[in-house]
Amino acid sequence: MNSLLSLRSVSVDLGATRALDSVSLTVNAGEIVAILGPNGAGKTSLMRAALGLIGAKGVIALGDADPRTLSARDRALRAAYLPQRPQSIWPVKVAALVALGRFAHGAAPDRLALRDQAAVDAAIEACSLGSLQHRGMDELSGGEKARAHLARALAQHAPLLLLDEPIAGLDPAQALGVAEVLQSHAAAGGGAVFSTHDIAFAAGTAHRVVLMKSGRVIAEGPAIEALTPAALESAYGRPARLERIGDDFAAIFER
């Protein structure tokens, strides 16, 4: 199978804190993987290490290359990254922000070749931003901004999507829209890794979940198998269970 990302015994130290402790993970083409865990579990460090954005020990392969040896452009052609708090420092138009996703393809936001324009248009449509594309980023709601940043990542046309909490702050309908975007990306042969605190969303969207605590992976696999009450309690420190309801899931934490 075509591996888009492979981590083998990867560790990250942030100052005196071990943020990742010998983590291994593989993401194949066509797969969606959700990273779960409490605050400080190492979810963001895992994504940043996967991109080579922070120093890490261990073996990392982004496609067929170590991201730490790749140029920024080559890395961007392999993986698109949506950070936890995406920024738009200047209030540029939505379409211009999405077009920045074409940077690695050599495009400037106001001079897009047909191929780049098509990618931007498709990303805008996939994120339902058609009516907002000529608005400034400072005129959008929090959810609309999040969709614009997701569209920017999609426009990058990288095989792998690394999305750090892409549904934080989104209403349930918009979150389902994100799930559909990920599923169509995977169906087209891409792969996606996303982190979230919404266990039910992760279980319903991802093919596999990775449950982390204190920089370590404590459970991995299809949600219904990996997220046992014992694993959830171990990660979150409270009795909890995952229940299947038809095709969907509910995560229940005891009060």
Partner 1 sequence: MSASLRTTLALAALSLVAVFAALWLGPVALENPFANDEATRTIVFDIRLPRALSAWLAGAALGLSGAALQGLLRNPLADSGVLGLSGFAALGAVIAFAFGFATFAPLMAVLFALGAAIIVTTLGWASRGPASLVLIGVGLSSFAGGLIALALNLAPNPGALSDLVNWTLGSVEGRSMQHVALAATLLAIGAALIFAAARGLQALTLGEESAAAVGANLSSTRALVVLGAAACTGGATAVAGIIGFVGIAAPHLVRALAGHDPARLLLPSAFAGGALLVCADIVVRLLPTDTELKLGVAAALIGGPVFALIAARLASRGGDA
In the complex, the residues that contact partner 1 under the rule CB under 8 A are 48, 51, 53, 71-73, 75-77, 79-83, 86-93, 96-97, 100-101, 103-104, 108-110, 136, 152, 156
Give the residue carrying structure tokens 């549904």: 167
Instruction: Using the minimum distance from each CB to partner 1, give the nearer residue, 88 or 195.
Output: 88
CB 166 to partner 1: min, Å:
13
CB 90 to partner 1: min, Å:
4
Instruction: Using the minimum distance from each CB to partner 1, give the nearer residue, 98 or 218.
Output: 98
Instruction: Using the minimum distance from each CB to partner 1, give the nearer residue, 104 or 182.
Output: 104
- Rounded distance, CA 43 to CA 209, Å? 12
Instruction: Using the minimum distance from each CB to partner 1, give the nearer residue, 63 or 204.
Output: 63
Instruction: Using the minimum distance from each CB to partner 1, give the nearer residue, 50 or 231.
Output: 50
CB 76 to partner 1: min, Å:
3
CB 72 to partner 1: min, Å:
5
CB 103 to partner 1: min, Å:
4
Instruction: Using the minimum distance from each CB to partner 1, give the nearer residue, 67 or 204.
Output: 67
- Rounded distance, CA 251 to CA 21, Å? 27
Is 98 within 8 Å of 157 (Cβ atoms)?
no
Number of neighbours of residue 110 by Cβ within 10 angstroms = 9
CB 118 to partner 1: min, Å:
18
Cα 167–Cα 169–Cα 170 angle in degrees, nearest 5: 60
Strand partners, 162: 81, 193
Number of H helices, E strands in the chain: 9, 11
- Rounded distance, CA 95 to CA 117, Å? 10
- Rounded distance, CA 238 to CA 234, Å? 8
Residue 255 DSSP symbol: -
Q: How far is CA 186 from the centre of its chain?
A: 13
Instruction: Using the minimum distance from each CB to partner 1, give the nearer residue, 91 or 239.
Output: 91
- Rounded distance, CA 223 to CA 207, Å? 8
- Rounded distance, CA 180 to CA 187, Å? 10
CB 137 to partner 1: min, Å:
9
